[in-house]
A = this chain, B = another copy of it.
Amino acid sequence: MPSDGSGRQPKYQRIAAELKAAIRSGRYGPGDRLPGENDLMAAHGVARMTARQALGVLQAEGLAEARKGAGVFVREFRLIRRRGIQRLAADVWSQGRSIWAADTEDRELVVDFLSATDEPAPSAIAVVLGLAEGARACVRRRRFLLDGKPVLLATSYLDAALTAGTAIAEPDSGPGGIYARLADLGREPVRFREEVRSRMPTPEEADRLGLVPGTPVVLVCRTAYTADGHAVEVNEMTLDASAYVLEYEFDAQ
């Protein structure tokens, strides 16, 4: 064995590295079909499982996507930009250029309302909302679809004692949404906290979002506070990480 440098590397990693290099070089572009298991077996003289392992590396990295019966394809990404503050008025900094391109325009992001129910509040939620253990919550579930594909699941929790009999407990919360209704009740949210995490999805999340294997989810938990510092709403969101860029702005100090 000569001083090969790349000598001591598993075959499947060598094959995977070769495919990745071919993608980087532009040999295969987004949406293109990659060499399949049979191609790799023939080209590299390996067993089926080894070729599978190589293709599995690209899929686990989120670079490629297997379509049963069709082949393995280079993935394409189109990012949605989600701003913490939905401020349309342009200020001086909004002019600044962004790192990651995101074409929010010319694409349809539709909201799919799922349900508004009255349920016992999960204990973690009850703590944040300042409710007694076992208190009931108004739970509103929504789903966001981009070009028909689900990209965000949202579950919103409010104190059921507060929302009972209001439009917040109804499927259609009326003009301005639930924040306008909370304002009607003298509980207008004036400040938000968002906590952001990321991890691999549970099988159920992957199913509900139609996630390609190798795609993480981003978890955003937004808490809305009234002027007197009380939390009035907790909104747990699960995002397709391959579809979103989150954006936050804040002042120094």
Contacts and interface: CB of A to CB of B under 8 A. Distances in A.
Interface of A: 49, 60-62, 79, 84-85, 87, 92-93, 95-100, 124, 127-128, 179, 188-203, 213-216, 218, 221, 223, 225, 228-229, 231, 234, 236, 241-242, 244-253
A100 B221 contact: yes
B200 A216 contact: yes
Contacts of A236: 99
B196 A247 contact: yes
Given A96-B229, A193-B249, A231-B96, A198 B216 contact: yes
Contacts of A225: 93, 96
A99 B244 contact: no
Main SS class of interface, A: mixed
A83 B236 CA distance: 19
A241 B197 contact: yes
B128 A245 contact: no
A96 B216 contact: no
A96 B128 contact: yes
Contacts of A228: 92
A135 to B, nearest CB: 15
Contacts of A99: 124, 128, 195, 221, 223, 234, 236
B252 A250 contact: no
B196 A127 contact: no
A61 B200 contact: yes
Nearest to A56: B56
Given A61-B202, A216-B241, A250-B248, A96 B193 contact: yes
Given A99-B128, A202-B61, A194 B241 contact: no
Given A95-B229, A229-B95, A244-B197, A191 B250 contact: yes
A192 B250 contact: yes
Contacts of A253: 85, 87
Contact of A193 (B60, B196, B241, B248): B248
